[in-house]
Amino acid sequence: MRKYFTFLLLFLFFVRCNENEDRNPSSQGTGMKKIPFVRPYSKPEEKETFTSPEKTLPPGSIFLYKKRIKRKDKTIIQPEENAEKRTVDTTLIKKLMYLRSANLEIDFREPVNRAYLFSPIENPEFSSMILLSHDRSIRINFDNDILDNTDRYYTNGIRFDYISPFLKQSPLSWLMVPYWGQGVNYYGVSIGQNMYTPYTTKVGGIHQGDRPYAAYLFIGSFKISNDPGKKFRQTSEIDLGVIGPSAYGDFVQKSFHNSVPTNTEPLGWEYQIQNDLVLNYDLTYEKGLVSNRRMELNLNGVGALGTLYTHMGGGFQFRAGLMNPFFDSYGFSSMKVNKAKRYSKFQAYVFFTSLGKLVGYDATLEGGMFNKSSIYKLTSREVSLFTYQGTLGFTLSYSGIRLDVEQFLLSPEFHGCAWHKWVHIGVTFGM
């Protein structure tokens, strides 16, 4: 038995020595012939001694990184595919070079632009490219019925708009409706407040059958797509805010009335529509029908869906006077653009709009969609299914400054309501 174990140990020692010699081809002392190393990925007839991967690469190539391959008896280091062997997307490079040479900045938020940039077609011209406008502006909008000697219904509204190409980076810009034509995109943000009262504010208590007190405060994000070729404009906007006492409509109106000696403090704000969420999505489409140097006629369609308003409608706008093309800009242009397109620095024209709407829901009349605790509100049966709105106004513009003055007229919004009118003033400052 001892002899058997001794023989087994000698046999294992002999096998181990042979394995060590196989792993070290340069070792001497066994009298065995040196075995050249064969690369696993080379052809069977190509046999050579293993060297470092860096030394096997062609001169001037870029060594990316090393990949270790573990086998039962050896570990080999081999180079990955170097950069010179990788396929270059020449079509993408040509398109990028074309955009850069033409000094064009496309809007990557638009799916049609991404489809153009990464398509295999080499032709750099693309009929549906949507550019990003670099115009910047601030617009102040003010609505009030004081100039019509009334203080009822939609009694006050203020809104600030800021347009800048930087606002394309907003996460909300991904929620804007894409445009599939050719044109220019404008991105903006807005903040605003609207206030509503019954027919009279001088009598306290609840006015049965009249409009309830209401106010809402919101912040919005919008995108405007202008297509001069098709004479088409698409506007999408999403608004987020609150309706109710948290909108501070009672504070604003009471402060204004108390600052004017001839006014009395409005009564009844304690019965206003209670706090609720404002989340609304609005769409507007405008299409040119007639266009020349002194006259334009455009059709328009509107739609809104959300917790504040749900409606849809359509109408038209007519303009006449000294003006630049409606769909070539958003009411203003920088001095550089005016000079390149030979636009007039001075604009003066009158306009008339007509709009009819089918009303599905109005939180300023019916209360919030989620909070049902409002003391007084109207039922859906009391709200008018159809409303008509007409405006008449004029615009004066010089270079980057624009003034709009507009008289609004609105048909009754609920049963027993009177026609209402107010004045809108808008001032735009180009930057």
Q: What does the pLDDT read at residue 99?
A: 76
Q: What does the pLDDT read at residue 249?
A: 95
Q: What is the mean pLDDT of residues 413-420?
A: 95
Whether the per-residue pLDDT at 56 is higher than 50: the answer is no
Phi/psi for 228 (5° steps) reads: -65, -35
Question: Encoding tokens for residue 289?
Answer: 């029908």
Q: What is the mean pLDDT of residues 230-246?
A: 96
Whether the per-residue pLDDT at 392 is higher than 50: the answer is yes
Q: What does the pLDDT read at residue 63?
A: 43
Q: What does the pLDDT read at residue 284?
A: 97
Whether the per-residue pLDDT at 149 is higher than 50: the answer is yes
Pairing mode, strands 75-79 and 130-132: unpaired
Measured distance CA(385)–CA(364) in Å, rounded: 15
Q: What does the pLDDT read at residue 23?
A: 45
Mean of the per-residue pLDDT values of the chain: 82
| Least confident piece of the model among 95-104, 110-119, 333-342, 355-364 | 333-342
Whether the per-residue pLDDT at 338 is higher than 80: the answer is no
Tokens 């007409």 belong to residue: 390
What residue spans of 109-161 are helical by DSSP H?
111-117
Confidence at 111, pLDDT banded by 50, 70, 90: confident
Beta strands in 53-182, from DSSP E residues, in sequence order: 66-70, 75-79, 130-132, 137-144, 153-163
Higher pLDDT, 232 or 430: 232
Question: Encoding tokens for residue 137?
Answer: 């502006």
| Stretch(es) of the chain classified as CATH 2.40.128.140 | 133-430
Q: What is the mean pLDDT of residues 264-290?
A: 95
Q: Is 338 helix (H, G, I), strand (E, B) or coil?
A: helix
Whether 198 contacts 207, CB under 8 Å: yes
- CA 326, 330, 335, 340 torsion-angle sign: negative
CA angle 99, 102, 107 (to 5 degrees): 45
To which H or E segment does residue 5 belong? helix 2-23
pLDDT digits (tens, 9 = 90+) for 13-51: 554 455 444 444 444 444 444 444 444 444 444 444 444
Whether 64 contacts 58, CB under 8 Å: no
Q: Is 165 helix (H, G, I), strand (E, B) or coil?
A: helix
Measured distance CA(190)–CA(140) in Å, rounded: 10
Superfamily of domain 133-430: Outer membrane protein (2.40.128.140)
Q: Enter the pTM of the model.
A: 0.76
Return the closest-CA partner of residue 272 out of 184, 201, 328, 171: 201
Measured distance CA(213)–CA(250) in Å, rounded: 9
CA 30, distance to chain mean position in Å, is: 77
Q: What does the pLDDT read at residue 47?
A: 46
Question: Encoding tokens for residue 35?
Answer: 């075995």
pLDDT digits (tens, 9 = 90+) for 349-368: 999 999 999 999 999 999 99
Confidence at 317, pLDDT banded by 50, 70, 90: very high
Q: Which of 129-138, 235-244, 393-402 has the highest mean pLDDT?
A: 235-244
Q: What does the pLDDT read at residue 118?
A: 74
